[in-house]
Structure 1
Amino acid sequence: MNSIKASIIIPTKNPGRIFQEVLDAVIAQKTNWPFDIIVIDSGSKDGTVEFVKSRPQASLIEIPASEFGHGRTRNLAISKSKGEFIAVITHDAKPVDDNWLANLVSCAESDERIAGVFGRHIAYPHASVFTKRELELHFSGFNLVPIVHLEDEDRYNSDVVYKQFLHFFSDNNALIRRSVWESIPYPDVDFAEDQAWAKLIIEAGYYKAYSEAGAVYHSHDYTLFERFQRSFDESYAFRRFFGYVLSPDLKFMIRSVGALSLRDISFAKKTGLIKTSPGTVLHAVVDNLMRVLGHYLGAKGDRLPAAIVSRISRDKKLFAQ
């Protein structure tokens, strides 16, 4: 009989010092059952491999960078694990406390129909005020309906917002049920493998859950160009895998930039930020422009030359290094 309740999978590629905090926080988890840890590294050159080897609680799998794939690499690591549940996090997602893993598993065990659980993201203390607010707004909405499944097929086929809500899943901080993964593994895609997997399990009739208590610190203060690249990757993937068009035309793009910027300026006025740090507010407004521009071009990614897509894509650059 398998005695491992949960396995923790962490893909790595030159994560820097933050990963040392992440791995030690994972090792320090308190549970009433055993768990194992697998780090799968795709060519780190920053001392990550040596650090993992210094922690006997974690197993290490090394693969060439050329073999990395978001879905493929996670599937490989999961296939080497033993847990009834699989926690999947990224190398910069640090558990907030030592009950993170137990909270995710407890949520999954509340209903055997739950195939996957995603947990809350909290911005790191050093993150910008707008990054913190964005994460708070995003994840607070899931508390209203923490467990979902496909209840209305007609609405699912006609309402893009409903479909996106059901598909949302983030394996920056997630737990999946092994028995479901065995029949529905991660798709071998180059981006959005987590939401592509959630689409499959939702359409197969399984439930999806959100755990506020199973939280990690995870945030990025992107430069303006990095924001553009990230948004391009997101929009390009969503168009290909789900048919979503995040920014269909210039008119929509302009309205979106205006709405997002008015929201941020209103917040800045209420908090006094517009007087104490006008540069931060200006950056947020330009960040909105870069976000929506990336969505606009990403929706047209299939029409762009491959060389342009390769130059724009942030994800392709990160894993080609």
Structure 2
Amino acid sequence: MNELNQLASVIIPTKNGGDIFKKVLVEVLNQDLGAPFEIVIVDSGSSDGTVVFIQDMQKQNENIVLKQIMPKEFGHGKTRNLGASLASGKYLVFITQDALPYDQFWLKNLVSCFDLDEDIVGVFGRHLPYDDCDIFEKHNIITHFNNFGAETTIYYLDDQERYNREEGYRHLLCYYSDNSSAMRKKIWDIIPYPEVDFAEDQLWARQIIERGYKKAYSPQSVVYHSHNYTFKQQFKRYYDEYKGLYRIYNYTSVKSVFLLPAYIAKHFISDVRFLRHNTNISRKRKLYWAAYSLVKNTIRYSGAYLGVLGNKYTSLNRLFSREYKLINK
């Protein structure tokens, strides 16, 4: 571990990161923080040359720390906590191996938010979709992060009754993404990540919000992050996502299996309207994306329904959960 006192420690869990991780690491190294920072990488069994690449980069950069663990030791919260335990920075910055900083000020724009208020203990940044992201997901990602504000915004629990009553308000206060985020090291000492198989970031945010701390959103701190999943991968992702949302908020997207067609149809119609108003797409491509929407929404709401059931019938996780398989290899 680096013995120097660092302002920030950037923690990156890796496994078979490929070419995108190489770009991510180079961009992180090129950050203009204006103060010392280190990079702590925890690799859980890469076999694609990721470790060799990191070791080569270590020869050129003494601020890189590498910790290797067995695949069976990986856990989303557990591995990030391990990285945090190895870190010497005042601030713990988390980024995933496929989240590419937009510019050289990604890191600075995250950690500078802590200077705004001593009660801010967590900060998350904005995501932009990659070019290969599907048209609907691109729209969703951009709209989702726009909802948090065009300027740096501080969130905290200021209305307990509303928090108890409104699901949307709870989502707003507790949303957090460790694809690109930062926390004070001293708060991690008190409230580490929950060691769960999914949604460790939002569970952590719920804890700090309910204990009276604040979080901030920095739209100036930007990463490219999205996925180009197959339909099978999308189903598993939605299964895990909605299983996690139920655990955090007691949120059930699909109230009954008999309502599945209605949910699918409603979202499909919304997507068709979006396509109709998009003048940059040819008619042929609109037909393609309409068909894609029908399949995607069938997958989404089926995964959402089964994901909630997965909290009760854990045997479903062996069949449908991507995260269960990753952790139990």
Question: Considering the TM-score relative to the shorter chain, is it more than 0.5?
Answer: yes
Between the aligned residues of both structures, percent identity stands at: 41
Residue deviations 1:234-269 (CA, integer Å, cap 9, x gap): 112222344222222135533332232222111111
Residue 259 (1) aligns with residue 261 (2): no
Q: Give a deviation string over 1:294-319, Cα, whole Å, max 9, x none.
A: 1111111144361x321211122344
Report the count of equivalent residues: 320
1:315 and 2:323 are equivalent in the alignment: yes
Per-residue displacement from partner, 1:139-179 (whole Å, max 9, x unpaired)?
11001682110111111112222112111100011111111
Partner of 1:158: 165
CA drift of 1:276 comes to 3.5
Give the TM-score, by structure 1 length. 0.94
Out of 294, 310, 319, which is 2:303 matched to? 294
Is the 8 Å Cα contact of residues 38 and 81 (structure 1) preserved in structure 2?
A: yes
Which residue pairs with 2:8 in the alignment? 6
Letter in 1 for 2:39: I
CA contact (8 A) 1:248 1:299 kept: no
Give the CA deviation at 1:2: 6.8
CA distance in 1, matches of 2:73, 2:234: 26
Name the counterpart of 2:216. 209
Which one-letter code corresponds to 2:323 in the other structure? D
2:113 aligned partner: 107
Q: In the alignment, does 2:138 pair up with 1:132? A: yes
2 CA distance for matches of 1:252 and 1:113?
A: 43
**Higher deviation after alignment, 236-245 or 149-158:** 236-245
In structure 1, the residue corresponding to 2:146 is in which secondary structure? helix
Aligned residue among 76, 82, 87 for 2:88: 82
Unmatched segments (≥5 aa) in structure 1: none
The equivalent of 2:125 in structure 1 is 119
Partner-residue secondary structure (3-state), 1:45: coil
SS in 2 for 1:6: strand
Other-structure match for 2:256: 249
> Which residue number corresponds to residue 17 of structure 1?
19
**Moved >4 Å (runs of 4+):** none
Distance of 2:282 and 2:313 partners within structure 1: 39
Equivalent residues of 2:132, 2:228 under 8 A apart: no
The residue that corresponds to 1:61 in the other structure is 67
Query: Please, which of 270, 282, 293 is the counterpart of residue 284 of structure 1?
Result: 293
Q: Map Cα deviations across residues 18-76 of structure 1 (whole Å, 9 max, x no partner).
A: 10001101001012111000110011111111111111232100011111111111011
Residues 71 and 190 of structure 1 are in contact (CA less than 8 Å); yes or no, is this contact kept in structure 2?
yes
Distance in 1 between the 2:324 and 2:123 partners? Answer: 27
Query: Matched residues in 2 for 1:230 and 1:72: separation?
Result: 20
Note the residue ranges of structure 2 that are not aligned, 5 or more in a row.
Answer: none
Give the TM-score normalised by structure 2. 0.92
Task: Give the alignment's Cα RMSD to 1 decimal.
Answer: 1.8
The match for 1:268 is 275
